[in-house]
Each structure stands twice: as C-alpha cells, then as structure tokens.
Structure 1
C-alpha cells in the first residue's frame, strides 16, 4: 500500500487532497501535516501531525517518528499569501492594495519567505530518507504562476511573488541534485483557499483544482522532473 504525505492538510488544497485520497475505494496510507489541528478521521492507515513546516526542530521530531517509513508521494501545499496585516485591515477585499509597493514591509517579506521558500526546502530535505525508501518516489509542490518572472506584467505581490520564485528555484535544484526522486511544481489556478479572507474574483474551488491535478498525477512521471506546469500539465515560463 503506497504512502502519501500531505502538508497544509487542515484547509484549502491540502484538505481537498486529503479528502480525495480518503474517498478512494482503497485509500493509501495517509500522513497529514499542518500547523493547525486537523479534523479527526476514523480510518486505519491515517496519522496526523501538528507542526510548523519552517521549524527545523518540528521537522526533526517528525523525521524520528517516520524513521524507516517509505513515502511514495509528498504533496506540499503548506504556505501563506504574504499580505500585510495592517493593509488587510485598511483595504478589506482589495488584495492588490494589501501587497503593493507602498504597503509591503520587512516583517511580511520575511514571514512569507520563511513559510513558502524555507519551509519547502526543510520539508523536502527532511523527508528525503523516507522518499529514497520508496520504489518510485514523487514530490509535488504547490507553486504559483505569480512566481513566474516572465508572467509578471502587473507588478505588486512582492512577498508572494518573490517567495514562490524562490520556492521554484529550491525545487528545481532538488530535481537536479536528487535525480532518483521525481519533482513537479504545479500552479493550481486561482483557488479559494482562505489564504486571503475573501473570495477573489474568478477563484475556483479547491476541489475543482485538485480534481484536475489528480488527473495530472495519474499520468505518473510523464511530465519531466523539475518542470513548472499548470494543473493540466502545460508548461509555465520561469
């Protein structure tokens, strides 16, 4: 029975992935990870862990618990949007105003990098021994088209854009340095994930996005390791 580890499993895309795998006729062994409490699940072969993905100590504790456990698939969806809290209070419902040049501050930049870029690096590095125990290990990371330099024609989004560009660089390096593991960066679309406190125009549900990404994952390693694609598998410019 394969083992799937999902980060950010308490909400948004992580929760939608968790619900998908739990709904399968024969669910895999599932390891759910989040910094918040996860809803109880009365299923065999399911465990949950509360931890901060940017905390090296928390991840070391997880590694001790998972020692000698092969992990076939890691779905890393934990992350934050990087909106300036004071700007959110002043401009509710206006995402561009909450991450603009005028609004951005050092604390928000650092917090977003810590969660999105450093957290991704630490999660993957921590789980490498477990992935190497699997026959055909894969790591799927939720990126964003906002991390694409070539796609950026509107500016703004300083913390989120920069942190996702850094995340892309981190995962690309893993794909080169650890060729025995398949890595994929996926833009899930504009999804209503509660990374912001309101629904953005044109946002789709997490369930719809995950439905498309699951079809992509079912293609196995058809998409080359280290690629940056949308939820249908179409390449996104770096």
Structure 2
C-alpha cells in the first residue's frame, strides 16, 4: 500500500493531486496545508486520507510533522506549495494586472524575502525533514512543482523578480538533493498555466 504525502493539498494543484490519488483504494494519503484540508471532494473515495495542518515556512511546524511521521515510509512526496511573489499593495490596487505587481520599480525586499521563504526555503526544509521517511520506502520519489520561469536561459522578458528568482533557487536546491541523496528520485515539474489561487485575478 503506497503512502503519498501531498503538500499544498487544500487548493489548486495539490488538491487536484489529492483527489486523483484518493480514487485508488490501495493508497494512503497524507495531506498537509496551512489550513485544514476539507474532505468534501475525497470523502467518497476509497483511499485512506490523513489531514494535517502544517506551516511549511515554520521549522517548528515541519519538525512536528516529521516527529509525527517518524515511523512512516513515504513512497511519493508531491510538493505543490508556492506563491507568485506580487507586491501586495500593487496587487490590491490593480488586481487585474499581475505584471504591474512584480516589476523592477515596485518590487520590494519584503516581497522578495517572503517569496523565497515560501517557494524555495520551505521546499528545502520540508524535503530534508522527510528524507528518513523516503529512505524507508523502496524507490521513493519526490515531485516538485516548479516553473520554467525559474530557467535563467528562458528569461527573455524580464520582470517577475521574486517569482523567477525563487523558482531558480528551488531548481538549484532540488538539483543538489538529487546529487546528495541518489537513492531517492527527484523530479522538477513545470505544470503549465493552471487556474488556482496563485494570483487573485482570473482571466476569461
């Protein structure tokens, strides 16, 4: 019976992964997010689902999860936590213009640091804390939701300072994991454009 841990399981891609894997009776799913993962979509499914509230920007919260799961082998870890890195004041004033909230002129230190914390540091801390669980499983896999916007070579339009830089950092972190922990398979994914809570404005 494979055990799958999904971060960011309350919304967006994480929620979609949760609902998909919950269809398989043989799966045990550990769903984590900063707020409770409501069971409405998956409660009729066959899988066993555990929900835990975890703040992935808090080492204490991550360590508490690691202690709770210390004897649990994890076969697959899907990390789908992320933010766009928009300057809040500009995003609130111009919600229909994502680009306006991430330009050279408006970007600030607070937004940069918070975006790095959520998009890069959280992935490092959570993945590292789960290594003992992953090593307990046979041929464990880690799948990280990244973005092609983290590619330096792909950046031909500029802007998106916090998001691009944080995803580049994330890519580098996971590359190092793949070298340092060869017994675990690490995969970085560019899921494409997805309708989620990444930004407030939804295009028609």
Pair in the same fold by TM > 0.5: yes
Question: What does 1:207-222 align with in structure 2 at a 5 Å threshold?
Answer: none
* 1:205 corresponds to: none
Q: Alpha-carbon deviation of 1:90?
A: 2.0
Secondary structure in structure 1 of the residue aligned to 2:29: strand
Moved more, 44-53 or 98-107: 44-53
Question: Does the aligned pair in 2 maintain the 1:34–1:52 contact within 8 Å?
Answer: yes
RMSD: 1.2
Question: What does 1:1-238 align with in structure 2 at a 5 Å threshold?
Answer: 1-24=1-24, 26-40=25-39, 42=43, 45-200=48-203
Deviations 1:47-106 (A, max 9, x none): 111111121100110011101100000000011110111011222211111111111111
Deviations 1:180-209 (A, max 9, x none): 0000000000111111012247xxxxxxxx
C-alpha distance in structure 1 between counterparts of 2:35 and 2:102, whole Å: 25
TM-score (norm 2): 0.95
- What stretches of structure 1 move > 3 A for 4+ residues in a row? 41-44
C-alpha distance in structure 1 between counterparts of 2:135 and 2:4, whole Å: 14
C-alpha distance in structure 2 between counterparts of 1:200 and 1:15, whole Å: 21
Give structure 2 stretches of 5+ with no counterpart. Answer: none
C-alpha distance in structure 1 between counterparts of 2:188 and 2:163, whole Å: 16
Q: Alpha-carbon deviation of 1:17?
A: 0.2
Between Structure 1 and Structure 2, how many residues are aligned?
Answer: 200
Question: Does the aligned pair in 1 maintain the 2:119–2:170 contact within 8 Å?
Answer: yes
C-alpha distance in structure 2 between counterparts of 1:90 and 1:130, whole Å: 44
Q: Alpha-carbon deviation of 1:27?
A: 4.3
Q: Alpha-carbon deviation of 1:123?
A: 0.7
C-alpha distance in structure 2 between counterparts of 1:150 and 1:48, whole Å: 39
TM-score (norm 1): 0.81
Give structure 1 stretches of 5+ with no counterpart. Answer: 202-238
Secondary structure in structure 2 of the residue aligned to 1:9: coil
Question: Does the aligned pair in 2 maintain the 1:83–1:99 contact within 8 Å?
Answer: yes
